[in-house]
Amino acid sequence: MHCNFCDQLTGFSDPVYAEAYVHVNQYDIVLDVLIVNQTTDTLQNLTLELATLGDLKLVEKPMPMTLAGNDFCNIKANVKVASTENGIIFGNIVYDVTGAASDRMCVVLNDIHIDIMDYILPASCSDAEFRTMWSEFEWENKVSVNTNITDMYEYLQHIIKKTNMKSITPFSEEDQSFNKKCGFLAANLYAKSIFGEDALANVSVEKPLNSSDDTLVIGHIRIRAKSQVLKLLNF
């Protein structure tokens, strides 16, 4: 499982510009931070100071360095992920200006948000296994459907894509035709985190009989998991 994205950490008008290329690979997050000295001064003891919230752990602190005027460098930092939980990486860039009598300078960085959805993968299980887990898991979250989608199957595919889950309820063309005629659809979804945590969902949506084509889908989704963190999937 790989996920890559880029976050701008400072503004273009700051004396030091920084952006981070974030590479998420299962339990490891590698930050490749581009730092640009936008001044003509030499910056000494320039240090990327990072801290974390959530179940993230900074492996080692980046070493201080010297950056000449209008020069740039790349600093890498490694973060370990310990569980399926939303996390935040935040910090500062601090430095001294050569020849300046002022105190140590500090530029506050924008937060880097690590999303729980980066650690959820579609998975398969039997109906019997799903029922067993459903009865055992104590955490449940019930979400009312609030959408501008008018087709039940389109809404189901939307949920599957949004949550990285997989439908374990098969639907043939005959099933789809029947469900549209009766105005009701129910499906079970399943996913597993990279840490082995299970997430279950039951989608129950309907569309009143004899309603117009532009009538919106209504219903609810029930999510169950052992962990309250997984219960808060992004529905």
pLDDT of residue 111: 96
pLDDT of residue 233: 58
Asked if residue 146 and residue 87 are part of one domain, the reply reads no
Distance CA 29, CA 189 (A): 28
Q: Would you give per-residue pLDDT tens digits along the chain (235 residues)?
A: 556 889 999 999 999 999 999 988 778 889 999 999 999 999 999 999 999 998 889 998 899 999 999 999 999 999 998 776 778 999 999 999 987 777 789 999 999 998 777 778 899 999 999 999 999 998 888 999 999 999 899 999 999 998 889 999 988 777 667 666 778 899 999 998 877 889 999 999 998 777 787 889 999 999 998 866 554 555 5
Instruction: With 0.75 as the threshold, say if the pTM is over it.
Output: no
**The one-letter amino acid at 28:** D
What is the residue range of 94's domain? 2-114
pLDDT of residue 4: 80
pLDDT of residue 27: 80
Asked if residue 96 and residue 68 are part of one domain, the reply reads yes
Asked if residue 226 and residue 173 are part of one domain, the reply reads yes
pLDDT of residue 2: 57
pLDDT of residue 121: 86
Asked if residue 59 and residue 21 are part of one domain, the reply reads yes
pLDDT of residue 235: 56
pLDDT of residue 131: 95
Total domains in the chain come to 2
Q: Is residue 98 a contact partner of residue 61, using CB atoms and an 8 Å limit? A: no
The enclosing domain of 208 has a CATH number of: 3.30.310.10
Q: Give the β-pairing of 218-225 and 28-37.
A: unpaired
Asked if residue 36 and residue 102 are part of one domain, the reply reads yes
